[in-house]
Structure 1
Amino acid sequence: MQLSHTPVASARFDEPNLVASAGLVPLIALAAKAGLRELGDEHLSVPTDKGSNAGLKLASLVAGMAAGADSIDDMAVLRHGGMGKVFDRPYAPSTLGSFLRKFTFGHVRQADAVASRFLINLAREGALLGQAQNTGAVMVDIDDTIVEVHGYAKQGASFGYSGVRGLNALLATVSGQDFAPAIAAQRLRKGSAGSPRGAARLASDTLALIRRTHLAGRDVLVRADSAFYSHSMVAALTSAGAQVSITVRMDKAVKRAIASIDDQAWNPIKYTDAIYDQDTATWISRAEVAEIPYTAFTGRKKAEQIPGRLIVRRIPELNPKSSDGQATLFQTWRFHAFFTTTPTDQRDTVAADQAHRAHAIIENVHADLKASALAHLPSGVFTANAAWLICAVMAFNLTRAAATLTRAPTLVRATTSTIRRKLINIPARIATSARRLHLHLPLNWPWERAWTTLYDAVLPTRARAT
């Protein structure tokens, strides 16, 4: 591509009827149908100088993040061109920053209540959590990530397990075979917080949310890594009726259990560099899995011990020495084991291993947030940053819900940046006729059909998109 042969004579910022993010029209309409403003007004008691309007300010923060804002100053994206004609009261960045800094810990918990109810309402408006008639298992993934910060004015910032100075964000996602991950719960913690801190409560909140949706009654599998392997976590989940699949630490009990596995019990699996043999209908692979009955937490009294299965994956140790020498006389292995309470008749050894490895999907959610609103934690006040995380989660779920309403396969599981580029950050010219606003969108927009489907789904009483 190159510039046209017709020279560009001038460039002026002087058009009052243009908007850069016309996709916010159906997006905010969807948020309104899910009751975001009403939930904010009902549950938030944040004091302000000029009346609360907590719901409107919360909606403004979510809208700005959906349009690409990752700092307080970026909220100015809501105040350009004809945005004031299309949207009511787009607040200034300074007003939204002041609003966030007035949050206390109690207000953060109120915002958590808003986020969970907002997710439930979004699920009712579309297929964010799949269709009600589906019966597959629901996957709950729990993991934390360090959000890097700079400067010494950030409350709670410190060096955590990753060696990066920042704050610790703990997330729980809900996903299934028929729907992409949505974030069901979130907590912001100080950077030095251990991974399992508050995880059992977060998992219980997630299970309670699932019971309030059409997912109630379906099997729930909670997946996590070894940092979350604790009696309090596993006991809370199993008592709530969920199954667990959690990586275990290689302690003495686990090593003894692995050593007791018979050599004939190992089965090759589909893994890196695996080849499928059509004749034998098996995988030719260097990775193998096996399982053994296992009772977790045997150091506690018998009533608190939890029976289940220990599933082990072994991979050849491929770490040759830098110097030449005699080759090893026997194969050495690296082991990865996890504890699960899933019955064998629901998932055999191979299926359980595949399901557990899919826990890595939550890493995509972490990366998605960090490439969007969570690229920064903009305030020096810890509770303001905690509220910012909640708004980022609501913006993530809102854009995901909008993508599902397009019914476009390429958008349903797309990242937030892709959804924003195709559905939200689309320019439009505003025209007024008969006291109505009309949006004139670019001709031959590649994703016109998806955008039109979304518009018609959330604004059925308005003039249809043409």
Structure 2
Amino acid sequence: MKRSLVPSVVIDPVRESLISSSGALLLRETIRTCGLDRRLAEALSPWRPPRARHDPSKVVLDIATALALGGDCLSDIAAIRSQPTLFGPVASDPTVSRLLTKLAGDVDDVVTAIRDVRAMSRSRVWARKRPLAGTAGTRHGGQVIVDIDATLVTAHSDKERAEPTFKRGFGFAPMCAFVDHGEHGTGETLAIDLRPGKASPWNSADHLSILDAALAQLPEDERAQVLVRADTGACSKAFMHRITDLGLEYSIGFQAQDTVKAAIEVIPEQAWKAALDGDGQPREGAQVAELTAWMPAPVTQKRASRPGPINWPEGMRVIARRERPHPGAQLRLTDHNGWRITCFATNTRGPGWRLPTLEVRHRQRARCEDRIRCLKDTGLANLPLYGFGQNRIWVEIVALAGDLLAWMQTLAFDDSAPARRWEPKRLRFRLLAVAGRIIRTGRRRLLRLPRSWPWDWLIETGWTTLRTV
């Protein structure tokens, strides 16, 4: 009989004084570095009872930390409470629940206060280390790309304003806005607007609201050179006029309507140019062309039921991409001669912006889907409370947790470091959820990490960098 190469292990009932989330020290140091704790305490001071033991700002930051570590409900704050040597005193579950109920009573003011604090902290982080490549205010690497998209959050029980969704589910339909860090980073959550389940992904008023909230989150000196990127749900005249009036650029999916089909029929074959892939190489079987000059003038009729601009904004360009569908794909009515046709509208012009380059930039909007997936892995997949106002507070804490992770990566690691691009799941497995031991010596407390943990050096490097930025 062969012996097992792995020795057997038996659980010992004796307990050790260990820290199970040693890497979370990077999150706590990020909070201190960007001044989030002090600013949030000032902003939430109106909701602090006179004899309260736990400051509302500390409770909110503890919940955000628990979500950043992988929690998805209020009771998961117990993981933070069980490590007082690292996180300090943590409120009990009833205290946390009562606080959120109280904050939900003034939900609009509380949401405004939290967003103001996040905006100020973001400005401080960007002033210390700008997360985008290039020089601020320039197109080549310095352009701030804001991605807007709606998503669905399923409700598994009856909650206030949880309704059937347009995809025949049941829950909520929040609208999200992110800033894309580019290929060398992740991204930051600018705003999340919680909406009832029946909210339409094509609602222009919701797009206007999330755009204002997103721009308010950016540092003031970064707002002049912004590209707004979205799918066809944002393709409304009111929304695109608003972007144009602000002097910004856009790259928004354009529906293949009658005017597009008419242009596809008459556009000369030589107008199609080879498309590029994400590495800048020609993409086989894909081509792009500008349809603006061949699109017929649409018939515009003002209707009282649809207020707003009648015409599309000046300077709008419509660019089409055609590609052979993959084997077995079902053709659509908008396909032409076996080609799958997709379009987007943009107002970007100038040297260096060739059609293939613009099309690649628009397709990189898929990173927004990654940001939404990461948020759902950081508390957005489950809205645990019944009241709509309470869940609005919850999604603001989710956005705060996402910011903590992104700011930690930005401040702690170089742009070339692989950890700068890690998603939350990998960050937790390799850095945040590593066990350690706190010892006291020479009137100091030292955190000792495992001797053979492969990513110890990243924690040490990140800690040293955060202490010096």
User: What residue is the counterpart of 2:211 in the other structure?
Assistant: 203
Counterpart secondary structure, 2:321: strand
Among 381, 399, 406, the residue aligned to 2:413: 406
Name the amino acid aligned to 1:233. Answer: F
Name the amino acid aligned to 2:266. Answer: S
Alignment of 1:312-323 (within 5 A): 312-316=320-324
Alignment of 1:1-400 (within 5 A): 7-12=8-13, 14-15=15-16, 17-44=17-44, 45-46=46-47, 48=49, 50-51=51-52, 53-80=55-82, 83-102=83-102, 103=104, 104-106=106-108, 107-130=110-133, 135=138, 136=141, 137-152=143-158, 154-177=159-182, 179-195=185-201, 196=203, 197-213=205-221, 215-217=222-224, 219-270=225-276, 283=282, 285-293=284-292, 299=300, 305-316=313-324, 331-400=337-406
Identity across the alignment (%): 25
Counterpart secondary structure, 2:292: strand
Distance in 2 between the 1:287 and 1:48 partners? Answer: 62
Counterpart secondary structure, 2:176: strand
Q: Is the 8 A contact 2:237 2:310 kept in 1?
A: no
User: What residue is the counterpart of 1:441 in the other structure?
Assistant: 449
Q: Is the 8 A contact 1:149 1:165 kept in 2?
A: yes
Name the amino acid aligned to 2:284. Answer: S
Distance in 2 between the 1:334 and 1:7 partners? Answer: 58
Counterpart secondary structure, 1:189: coil
Cα gap change, 1:134 to 1:18, in 2 (>3 Å): farther
Q: Is the 8 A contact 2:323 2:340 kept in 1?
A: yes
What is the Cα deviation at residue 143 of structure 1?
A: 0.2
Distance in 2 between the 1:79 and 1:314 partners? Answer: 55
Comparing 222-231 with 47-56, greater Cα deviation is found at: 47-56
Distance in 1 between the 2:29 and 2:137 partners? Answer: 27
What is the Cα deviation at residue 72 of structure 1?
A: 0.8
The reply on whether 1:415 has 2:423 as its aligned counterpart is: yes
What is the Cα deviation at residue 127 of structure 1?
A: 4.1
Counterpart secondary structure, 1:336: strand
Q: Is the 8 A contact 1:158 1:190 kept in 2?
A: yes
Structure 1's unaligned 5+ residue stretches are 277-282, 323-329, 462-466
Distance in 2 between the 1:242 and 1:165 partners? Answer: 36
Alignment RMSD: 3.0
What is the Cα deviation at residue 318 of structure 1?
A: 5.9
Indicate the structure with greater helix content: 2
What is the Cα deviation at residue 101 of structure 1?
A: 2.3
Question: Which whole-Å deviations, capped at 9, do the CAs of 1:402-446 have from their partners, x for residues lacking one?
Answer: 223122621111101111222211111111123221111100221
Q: Is the 8 A contact 1:37 1:56 kept in 2?
A: yes
Name the amino acid aligned to 1:37. Answer: D
Indicate the structure with greater strand content: 1
Name the amino acid aligned to 1:418. Answer: R
What is the Cα deviation at residue 188 of structure 1?
A: 1.0
Question: Which whole-Å deviations, capped at 9, do the CAs of 1:139-186 have from their partners, x for residues lacking one?
Answer: 11100111111111x111112122221112211111244543211122
Name the amino acid aligned to 2:245. Answer: S
Name the amino acid aligned to 1:72. Answer: L
Distance in 2 between the 1:437 and 1:412 partners? Answer: 29
What is the Cα deviation at residue 304 of structure 1?
A: 6.8
Name the amino acid aligned to 1:55. Answer: S
Distance in 2 between the 1:121 and 1:460 partners? Answer: 15
Comparing 372-381 with 178-187, greater Cα deviation is found at: 178-187
Counterpart secondary structure, 1:11: coil
Q: Is the 8 A contact 1:111 1:387 kept in 2?
A: no
What is the Cα deviation at residue 133 of structure 1?
A: 6.3
What is the Cα deviation at residue 209 of structure 1?
A: 3.3
Name the amino acid aligned to 2:12. Answer: A
Distance in 2 between the 1:426 and 1:77 partners? Answer: 13
Name the amino acid aligned to 1:264. Answer: Q
Structure 2's unaligned 5+ residue stretches are 303-308, 331-335
TM-score calculated relative to the size of structure 2: 0.85
Counterpart secondary structure, 1:439: strand
User: What residue is the counterpart of 2:305 in the other structure?
Assistant: none
Q: Is the 8 A contact 1:71 1:373 kept in 2?
A: yes
Distance in 2 between the 1:394 and 1:361 partners? Answer: 19
Distance in 2 between the 1:298 and 1:437 partners? Answer: 73
Q: Is the 8 A contact 1:200 1:233 kept in 2?
A: yes
TM-score calculated relative to the size of structure 1: 0.85
What is the Cα deviation at residue 289 of structure 1?
A: 1.0
